[in-house]
């Protein structure tokens, strides 16, 4: 109980202190999980955020009828092209995780990204990335950070050259052991509607592959077709056909992959809008069936916000999530349910109240 009183005291003190300074938002949410066995423990979440450029501060805590679950703290600072943030998660056992991020860009010629992760026992891991040079010629270096020091350093050299009749670009990758691989790509504009792209891949063992991609556009760019062939040292190893179609608010991409004259796989992707509903789907498979499929859709129906998410694999249905929500001024009511291969897996009912000061 003392933890709850301390949390509420901190929230309301913060609101009173920052009230006259900037935008303060308070949100209180109650959630009731349920499954075929009945209802679970009712939980409560309170969140507070305060924003005044260049600072953003946030905090949230989750309680159940039995105990304090966790609390999350965050702070971020952004000015010009420099962004820094820190987050921390607390449980009844103390600090469980924390992360510090720094992103900075200087005059478009240099950038720095640094991420540090901490756990209960201190520093866990991190990553640092440095980029030098303009977009058409730059060098990128990155390394993993561990408690023992720097690990797995890598470097990348990128260049690009644009001409009236074609473009040339390349990427060279290095590791701690030296040269890793190089990719060279040349694009030739055969006409207003036809382009030919040649991509070479070279490794320390020598030539690995050469890919030719012939593409054309039709119907004022609404339809694109491309034909590709990949050649390795042992000959032609794969062919592909892809189609891009832009409908009214919906982008569709389909591709077929062949090994010799035999279909080895297909992919179908669509995202955009169908009427009042958004759609994002991806399907991958072969003649043997669907290997992976995901579909997400959301929109408005009879004054409610509805959403559905579907995940499938070669074994069948993995997960189906259905959601329904309604906003009533400062109040928001929602319900969601999850289904799996064995049927209904559970769901939750939520009610939240948001107050902006």
> pLDDT tens for residues 70-88?
999 999 999 989 999 999 9
The answer to whether position 67 is within a domain reads no
> Is the model's pLDDT at 16 over the cut of 80?
no
Say how far apart CA 316 and CA 322 lie, in whole Å.
18
> Is the model's pLDDT at 1 over the cut of 90?
no
The pLDDT value recorded for residue 192 is 86
The answer to whether position 94 is within a domain reads yes
Say how far apart CA 85 and CA 190 lie, in whole Å.
48
- The arithmetic mean of pLDDT across residues 134-152, rounded, is 94
Task: Please give the residue that has the higher pLDDT: either 5 or 266.
Answer: 266
Say how far apart CA 70 and CA 55 lie, in whole Å.
24
Q: Over the Cα atoms of the chain, what is R_g? A: 27
The per-residue pLDDT of the chain, averaged, comes to 90
- Give the global pTM: 0.76
Euclidean distance between the first and the last CA atom of the chain, given in angstroms as a whole number: 27
Quickly state the pLDDT bin for 108 (edges 50, 70, 90): confident
Tokens standing for residue 60: 């949230």
The pLDDT value recorded for residue 21 is 58
The answer to whether position 71 is within a domain reads no
Say how far apart CA 350 and CA 27 lie, in whole Å.
13
- The arithmetic mean of pLDDT across residues 42-48, rounded, is 95
The pLDDT value recorded for residue 257 is 92
- At residue 114, the 3 state secondary structure works out as strand
339 within 8 A of 310, measured Cβ to Cβ? no
Q: How many domains is the chain partitioned into structurally?
A: 1
The pLDDT value recorded for residue 248 is 84
Q: Tell me the pLDDT tens digit for each residue of 246-255.
A: 988 899 999 9
Residue with tokens 């891991």: 125
Contacts of 225 (CB under 8 A, 6+ apart): 215, 216, 218, 241, 242, 243, 244
The answer to whether position 239 is within a domain reads no
The answer to whether position 55 is within a domain reads no
The answer to whether position 268 is within a domain reads no
The pLDDT value recorded for residue 113 is 97
Say how far apart CA 212 and CA 229 lie, in whole Å.
5
Say how far apart CA 321 and CA 318 lie, in whole Å.
10
What is each CA distance from 169 to 108, 135, 179, 191, in whole angstroms? 20, 11, 18, 20
Say how far apart CA 133 and CA 160 lie, in whole Å.
12
Q: Tell me the pLDDT tens digit for each residue of 192-217.
A: 889 999 999 999 998 899 999 999 99
- Domain range for 149 is 80-162
The answer to whether position 156 is within a domain reads yes
Quickly state the pLDDT bin for 316 (edges 50, 70, 90): confident
166 within 8 A of 158, measured Cβ to Cβ? no
Q: For 346, list phi and psi in degrees, rounded to 5.
A: 135, 175
Identify the sign of the CA torsion 132, 138, 139, 145.
Answer: positive
The answer to whether position 113 is within a domain reads yes
């Amino acid at each position: 109980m003392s933890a709850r009183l301390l949390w509420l005291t901190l929230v309301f003190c913060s609101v009173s202190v920052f009230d006259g300074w900037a935008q303060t938002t308070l949100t209180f949410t109650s959630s009731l999980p349920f499954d075929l066995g009945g209802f679970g423990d009712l939980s409560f979440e309170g969140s507070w955020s305060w924003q005044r450029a260049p600072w953003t501060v946030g905090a949230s805590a989750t309680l159940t009828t039995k105990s304090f679950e966790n609390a999350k703290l965050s702070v971020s600072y952004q000015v010009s092209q420099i962004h820094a943030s820190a987050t921390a998660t607390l449980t009844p056992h103390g600090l469980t995780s924390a992360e510090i991020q720094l992103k900075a860009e200087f005059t478009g010629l240099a950038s720095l990204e640094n991420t540090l992760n901490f756990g209960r026992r201190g520093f866990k891991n991190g990553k640092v990335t440095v980029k030098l040079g303009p977009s058409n010629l730059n060098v990128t270096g990155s390394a993993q950070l561990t408690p023992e020091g720097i690990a797995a350093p890598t470097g990348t050299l990128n260049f690009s050259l644009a001409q009236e009749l074609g473009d040339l670009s390349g990427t060279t990758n290095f590791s701690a052991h030296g040269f890793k691989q190089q990719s060279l790509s040349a694009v030739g504009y055969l006409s207003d509607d036809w382009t030919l792209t040649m991509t070479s891949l070279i490794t320390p063992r020598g030539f690995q592959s050469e890919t030719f991609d012939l593409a054309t556009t039709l119907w004022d760019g609404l339809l694109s077709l491309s034909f590709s062939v990949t050649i390795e040292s042992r000959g032609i190893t794969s062919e592909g056909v892809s189609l891009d179609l832009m409908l009214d608010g919906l982008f569709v991409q389909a591709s077929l992959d062949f090994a010799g004259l035999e279909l080895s796989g297909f992919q179908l992707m669509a995202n955009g809008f169908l009427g009042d509903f958004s759609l994002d789907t991806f399907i991958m498979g072969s003649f043997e069936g669907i290997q992976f499929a995901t579909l997400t859709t959301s929109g408005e129906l009879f004054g409610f916000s509805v959403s559905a998410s579907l995940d499938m694999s070669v074994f069948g249905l993995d997960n189906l999530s259905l959601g329904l929500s309604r906003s009533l001024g400062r109040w928001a009511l929602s319900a969601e349910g999850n289904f799996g291969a064995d049927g209904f897996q559970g769901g939750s009912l939520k009610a939240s109240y948001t107050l902006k000061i």
